[in-house]
Chain A
Amino acid sequence: MNEIKNKTNFEINQVINEPYKYGFETKIEKEEFPKGLNEEIITLISKKKNEPEFLQTFRLNAFKKWIKLKSPSWANLSINPINYNDITYYSIPKQKKKLNSLEEVDPEILKTFEKLGISLEEQKKLSNVAIDAVFDSVSIGTTYQEKLGKAGVIFCSISDAIKFYPNLVKKFLGTVISSGDNFFASLNSAVFTDGSFCYIPKNVTCPLELSTYFRINDKDAGQFERTLIIAEKNSAVNYLEGCTAPQFSENQLHAAIVELIAFENAKIKYSTVQNWYSGNEEGIGGIYNFVTKRGLCIGKNSNISWTQVETGSSITWKYPSCVLLGKNSSGEFYSIALTNNYQQADTGTKMIHLGENTTSKIISKGISCGNSKNSYRGLVKIGLNGAYARNFSQCDSFLIGSSSLACTYPYLDTWNSTAIIEHEAKISKISEEQLFYLTQRGIGIENAIGLLINGFCKDVVTMLPMEFATEADKLLSLKLEGTVG
């Protein structure tokens, strides 16, 4: 019988260690800058992209701040030192001439996205999602621009936005996350090469779900993308972000910024399914994911909702946050973070209640397997003017196996005595009795684990848009189960 028990453990391991499916590399001709970071490289990036002067100044200022900053060491992560001069900051697929339409994109790249399950050919796409595809440092193409244009929605790469809507970019870029916000945000502000831009005008509910798909392909290039979403008064938008990268034994750096701004009555729902390469079973390779995401609810009754499913990356350092400035504004954070092998995740949120009657809700589910480390870190801050602010937090952790680690670090900082803050936390282990019950009913061990995990994550998965919920389910399955019925 012991044998059977060992077999069970073995099976659990096998199930959890499903290999990474997106680890292939696309061979394309690329144009890149020499490695290293200095003012010259930054000026070169700016020149290369024909940027207006304000942006070059923005970058150089950020760089000046960055050299004075130190990489944050407070997170529950052990990170090998990163040599920032050994990274390529600009790498784009080589194009013979300017592209006028998607048909002119290198077929190899289109194939890459096809392989990832992202078809950029509009007729083949899900009919209600517009996609911006980012390959290494550059946006490859954005679908459905015409349809969006009719509604007045601007959805394009941030490079195009800089070119065609410089005033909007100038007005909003860096207003939520300043170029000196933190080490990685400054780095991004200095060297970001592309990303998505989205502007929803007054009284418009975006007719499509918007989606950006990020792909890191180059071995030595960092990906520093920047997303800026502005929702004007009475507008609403649903935004989805997906990511993958090839399998290399070196670590790649990903330091992104996402800024959201919601005006009066506006609603932004931002969902991420992150599946960067997480390194192999010994912890070699994988993406270092240092991301600053923050939304500003500037108007009355505005709402920003973050949903994330974090399954990839060797290191995740990410705290999608909401600054609740407008009266009655609300922020939400729903998160599933799954770590395996030697992955480390330190993720959570900040809810900064500055306005009256603001509310926030945090639901975080951490799942740790193998030798991984999974920490929730969250701050709920109520400012002096945050009268009657309310927060509810629930942080649940689920441990699989006996070598994984789950930590919860909730921080509360209240300056107004009328605020109400609730916090619940729970750590559970996969129980042998649950597995026995399910297997006795004929459900094999891998499906049983999958079922337990799905049950554990249900509150969050139901918050994802349909297309993503399926993808998230698939991803969790891929990481944990063979197939789930």
Chain B
Amino acid sequence: MSKILLKVQNLEASIEKKKILKKLNLEINENEIHVIMGPNGSGKSTLSKILAGHPSYSIENGTVEFCQKNLLEMSPETRSHEGLFLAFQYPIEIAGVTNYDFLRIAYNEKQKYLKEPELDPLQFMELTQILLNKLKIKNEFLNRNLNEGFSGGEKKRNEILQMLLLNPKLIILDEIDSGLDIDAIKIICEEIKKNIRKNSSLVVITHYPRILNYLKPTFVHIMIDGKIVKSGNMELVDYLENKGYQDLNI
């Protein structure tokens, strides 16, 4: 049996006294792809932010274990170093900081945490070169300020570049398909599948079943009003496509 990567039990969380997650349960093993679908405002993106440690939310109940460690006790950066990666729906722009500097600092911080050697600018350039080629990204991408003036597609690619660089165990893709054309979705999904490390797992938050043609899910979860109300496989997606969320009989 494969190992448990993430175990969320009875998780309740709120923001400004408004309850967003209500006794949510989720278990993810290694080597799995979980899809979370649900209507707007059901708490999907909130779940991803809470798992990544966003400081605005308060946890009221429940536990989250990540690789047998208590995730809720870790700072956001420790969660990242431990192998949790969140690809943002709207990657943040940062003025005056080049993509290259940002990537190198992020990479070296992780190396430091893992007590692995840090890379100097030249060595790091070699490493990124390989990834850039894989993702078919031009070099000048690195000299631009972090996400500043990037197109929607470029921002998402940059998220994938960061993901490959940080080599995470659990990857949460928060609407990675929003704002991307069909070809771009296909390329990005293929790159993700091809390049993620062995035994890592994906959580795919999406509104559109299209992406599931490329990332074949092990499980499909339907999230409504702060909890997972139904879990199943691809058949569940087909059912949703025909009937929508209202006819789920829960």
Contacts and interface: CB of A to CB of B under 8 A. Distances in A.
A94 B94 CA distance: 53
Contacts of B79: 440
A440 B52 contact: yes
A2, A443, A454 — most chain B CB neighbours (10 Å): A443
A466 interface: no
A485 interface: yes
B97 A443 contact: no
Interface in B24-63: 49-50, 52-59
A22 B213 CA distance: 63
A459 B97 CA distance: 11
B92 interface: yes
Interface stretch (A213-221, A282-290, A405-413, A444-452): A444-452
Contact of B106 (A1, A443, A456): A443
A293 B129 CA distance: 48
A1 to B, nearest CB: 4
Contact of B95 (A433, A440, A455): A455
B240 interface: no
A432 B55 contact: yes
A213 B232 CA distance: 72
B52 to A, nearest CB: 5
Contacts of B13: 1
A441 B159 CA distance: 10
Given A436-B54, A441-B106, A442-B110, A454 B77 contact: no
Given A434-B92, A447-B109, A451-B105, A440 B58 contact: no
A436 B55 contact: yes
A439 B97 contact: no
B200 interface: no
B156 to A, nearest CB: 14
A432 B75 contact: no
Q: Which of A1, A440, A447, A452 has the most CB of B within 10 A?
A: A440
B80 A441 contact: yes
B75 A452 contact: no
Interface string A448-470: 00011011111100000000000
B94 A452 contact: yes
B78 to A, nearest CB: 8
B105 A447 contact: yes
Nearest to A437: B92
B83 to A, nearest CB: 10
Contacts of A484: 105
Contacts of B209: none
Nearest to B165: A441
A4 interface: yes
B221 interface: no
Contacts of A458: 96-97
B86 interface: yes
A5 B77 contact: no
Contacts of B58: 1-2
A8 interface: yes
Contacts of A457: 96
Interface residues of B, number: 39
A485 B108 contact: yes
A438 B93 CA distance: 11
A2 B106 CA distance: 26
Nearest to B103: A441
Interface in A405-427: none
Nearest to B59: A1
B91 A437 contact: yes
A485 B96 contact: no
B77 A456 contact: no
Contact of A4 (B53, B96, B108): B53
Contacts of A445: 75, 77
Contact of A439 (B75, B88, B95): B75
B166 A442 contact: yes
Given A5-B56, A437-B88, A451 B97 contact: yes
Contacts of A441: 80, 102, 106, 162, 166
Contacts of B85: 440
Nearest to A431: B92
A432 B104 contact: no
B103 to A, nearest CB: 9
A370 B92 CA distance: 25
B113 A442 contact: yes
Interface in A384-405: none
A7 to B, nearest CB: 8
A55 to B, nearest CB: 47
Interface in B166-210: 166
A197 B240 CA distance: 81
Nearest to A451: B97
Contacts of A459: 96
Contact of B53 (A432, A440, A454, A485): A440
B157 interface: no
B10 interface: no
A292 B197 CA distance: 61
B174 to A, nearest CB: 11
B152 interface: no
B217 interface: no
B145 interface: yes
Contacts of A451: 94, 97, 101-102, 105
B22 interface: no
Contacts of B54: 436
B227 interface: no
Nearest to B73: A4
B76 interface: yes
Nearest to B82: A442
A199 B94 CA distance: 43
Given A1-B55, A431-B92, A432-B55, 5 more contacts: A433-B92, A436-B54, A454-B96, A454-B97, A455-B94
15 contacts: A1-B55, A1-B57, A1-B58, A432-B56, A437-B88, A439-B76, A440-B53, A442-B106, A443-B109, A444-B109, A445-B77, A447-B105, A455-B94, A455-B95, A458-B96
Interface of A: 1-2, 4-5, 7-8, 431-434, 436-445, 447, 451-452, 454-459, 484-485
Interface of B: 13, 49-50, 52-59, 72, 75-77, 79-81, 85-86, 88, 91-92, 94-97, 101-102, 104-106, 108-110, 113, 145, 162, 166
8 tightest A-B contacts by CB? A455-B96, A442-B80, A439-B76, A458-B96, A455-B97, A437-B92, A1-B58, A441-B106
